Amino acid sequence: MTAETASRAPARDPGPDKEIPEEGVQPRGKWANNMEFILSMAGEIIGLGNVWRFPYLCYKNGGGVFFIPYFVFLFFCGIPVFFLETALGQYTSEGGVTAWRKICPMFEGVGIASQVIVVYLNIYYIVVLAWAIFYLVFSFYSPLPWSTCDNWWNTDSCQTHFSAFANPHLFHPESNWSFLNNISSPDYYENLTYIIETDPLLMTKSPEEEFWTNRVLRMSNDMSLGKVHWDLTLCLVVAWVICYFCIWKGIRSTGKVVYFTATFPYLMLFILFIRGVTLPGAAEGLKYYLLPDLSKLAEPDVWRDAGTQVFFSYAVCQGVLTALGSYNKYNNNCYRDCLALCCLNSVTSIFAGFAVFSVLGFMSHELGIPMTEVATAGPGLAFIAYPKALSLLPGSSFWAVLFFLMLLLLGLDSQFVCVESLATALTDLFPRHLRRPSARELLTLVIAAVCFLLGLPLVTEGGIVLFQLIDTYGPSGTSLLIIACFETIVIAWVYGADRFYDNIEDMIGYPPFPILKYCWMFVTPLICGLTLLYNLTQTHSLEVYGYVPGTWGTTVGSLLVLTPLMCIPAFIFITLCKNPTNMIAPSSDLRQARPDKPVLTMCKHVIFKAQRQPNRSVDKRNDKMMMEEHNRV
């Protein structure tokens, strides 16, 4: 083939719109500018976990000492995998499945496994947004409905903090409640424990807790699914409608929406921070948040929590980063962008801790209860503890609206970017059918409808049990750690770390920091492997409001973990049957700037030689297309 013929051939190259589309098939889009990519990535990685998980983990795992294991995992696992996935998407211009097919056909299952986890996220994560919408609607009421015991969902056990202020002598461990039972015998205090356990009047609950359990969740006594709650279903519909119209046009709409959804939460978080640190008791809350406890470093659970937080917070091993990176222009400096985004994410997590614990410190101060009873994580923080603290503030409705609007926006961009990732993967798998006019809108609608229907059991009377099962075992640490090991090993030892470095240098104009290569080769798989082994040695028991799922819970949890992981060996077997002679060879469409160089070296020794000789005609075709792209820009 001559150079002129090769330049006219409809072969594909990693530059933008490198493929000459068939008639009626639309070319693959690109971000309008680099800021759209940055904000979309920020919207995905900066979410609810920064607000309701990271601050609590700091408090629980030694305060400021937790930063040590956190940054160890960040530098040696989080950033290497985060950059690997983003650079892979930009280099191949493919979604989370076809990118791995092009790099190494045998490990296409790694991409499929990531997309299964994305499906889990699309089903259950949006339920949190439905809860946030539910609370946001009630935030406009005055007084806040979760701050009083005068509602139809409250029980006789409901007790507001105002009762404690009216009769402070009754609310301490040595209080005499004998007048309620007409007991005057000396053995009253010996029987006090029995009375508290049997008398419902003394088993008090806060109105915030009763609003959450009796009004929002409305759990059945036996935790069976029961009926679907119509109002939560309506909130779920609203969340999906918002999500759909954010991404229905693909990156053309996503890139515009993130200007608001990714930036406005920062304004609200800053306002809450300023209000929080000016409250009485804020200093005590911040002390519990950051006070270092060096003894915690010797506990393996602290290191495991740090690794889990990094993997969840940075959205690695989910195919999302690859999908977003695939819409970059070939010469975008994704290395600089990734480092900036990682810094932004971690700084946001730390800053959110100040906003959260300053307000919790105020609540502890106002109610006279210890911080150990105030600090919590997950839905308990977002829907019980923090609303309780906000109800103590003057103008509580305003602060509640601000807080739940922030939660909604933080979760919304993470949600619709996950849906975008799944749509991208499917579109790249079937471009002839899904890159036609109106096909993208229909595909997104189908994804939204199917995920909505699959999410309906989560808004039933026992839906919180299913929610916790998916949250615990769906995007579990075990699944993510195994996928991370495969990703780094495939890139470093199968495709070749040196070859991937050359690809990156060809894209950004200079080689990234050399330590990344050795992280992919040794450090990241080793740390992930050791953490995985520790995870497997621990026994996990899930309890949801006193209910422990039995055998069925264990079975569902096991399926949630195994389903994505089974994709990896399954596709290795499929590739072995279909094309046993070409299982690890990368696609010839990929641009190789230095095809004659060894694909992997170590300490100047060649580990794996070049897999093919330079093809000058392909190189000239690539150079011509790169020049055309530069002229268009």
The answer to whether the peptide bond before residue 143 is cis (omega within 30 degrees of 0) is yes
- Which residues touch 411 (CB under 8 Å, ≥6 apart)? 47, 48, 125, 126, 128, 129, 132
> Is residue 491's pLDDT more than 90?
yes
CA pair distance 96, 321, nearest whole angstrom: 8
Q: What is the pLDDT of residues 561-606, one digit of tens each?
A: 999 999 999 999 999 998 888 889 999 899 998 888 999 888 888 8
The larger pLDDT score, comparing residue 615 to residue 360, is at 360
> Is residue 7's pLDDT more than 90?
no
CA pair distance 307, 66, nearest whole angstrom: 11
The larger pLDDT score, comparing residue 22 to residue 444, is at 444
Confirm if 93 and 629 have CB atoms less than 8 A apart.
no
Q: What percent of the chain has pLDDT over 70?
A: 86
Tell me which range, 290-299, 373-382, 420-429, is most confidently predicted by mean pLDDT.
420-429
Q: What is the pLDDT of residues 114-165, one digit of tens each?
A: 999 999 999 999 999 999 999 999 999 988 999 888 889 998 888 876 544 4
- Which residues touch 444 (CB under 8 Å, ≥6 apart)? 244, 247, 248, 419, 423
pLDDT band at 529 (very low <50, low <70, confident <90, very high): very high
Token representation of residue 45: 């990685």
Please spell the DSSP secondary structure of 197-224, one letter per residue.
HH-GGGS-B-HHHHIIIIIII---TT--
Q: Among 8-17, 387-396, 467-476, 616-625, which is the least confidently predicted range?
A: 8-17
Q: What is the pLDDT of residues 331-362, one digit of tens each?
A: 999 999 999 999 999 999 999 999 988 988 88
The larger pLDDT score, comparing residue 394 to residue 91, is at 91
Q: What is the pLDDT of residues 267-284, one digit of tens each?
A: 999 999 999 999 999 998
Q: What is the pLDDT of residues 363-406, one digit of tens each?
A: 888 888 888 777 777 777 888 888 888 888 888 999 999 999 99
> Is residue 426's pLDDT more than 60?
yes
Domain edges within the chain: 3-144+223-623, 153-168+178-217
Say which CATH topology domain 3-144+223-623 has.
Amino acid/polyamine transporter I (1.20.1740)
Angle, helices 477-489 vs 300-313, to 10°: value is 70
